[in-house]
Amino acid sequence: MADEKTKRFREHVVRELYATEQDYASNLRFLVTHVLEKAREKGLHDNSFTDDVIHTLFCNIEEILALHERLMVDLDACVRGTPSYGTTIAKCYLNHQEGFAIYQHYGEYNEQSQKLLYELEDHPAFKAFFVVSQEIDCNSPGQSDILP
């Protein structure tokens, strides 16, 4: 009975890891396709949205998304293809461990990004852009907490 309970608990943990990773990748995808791309489009028409500003705000978010999309492919194969996926899910993360180094670059820009967001808080073009982005966000299920 204890073995069955442990097995169920382990399966629950694996499902939670998988669902959390899936949600995170979805949120990153939304951020890239609905916010970053719109900021780039706006930059073509508004010199406030310079490449430097966009890079400071979003850094290497596209690389991070690519990492998590690759990880999801492996996790999906692992969870769906193996009856004992509890023992193989860790291997998926280990196979991508070097890829997680890209978070160092993202972390290095975090303070600059937060400072810039604070500075731009009252700038009319940015304020309007982020209000619209948040309205899109509010109308998209599961996309809360990803915008500044």
Q: What is the mean pLDDT, run by run of 10 residues, along the chain of 148 residues?
A: 80 88 95 90 82 92 97 87 67 92 92 90 81 63 41
At residue 139, the pLDDT reads 52
Task: State the pLDDT at residue 115.
Answer: 93
pLDDT at 88: 78
Q: What is the pTM of this model?
A: 0.81
| Per-residue confidence (pLDDT) for residue 2, from 0 to 100 | 65
| Whole-number pLDDT of residue 142 | 43
Tokens of 111: 């303070």
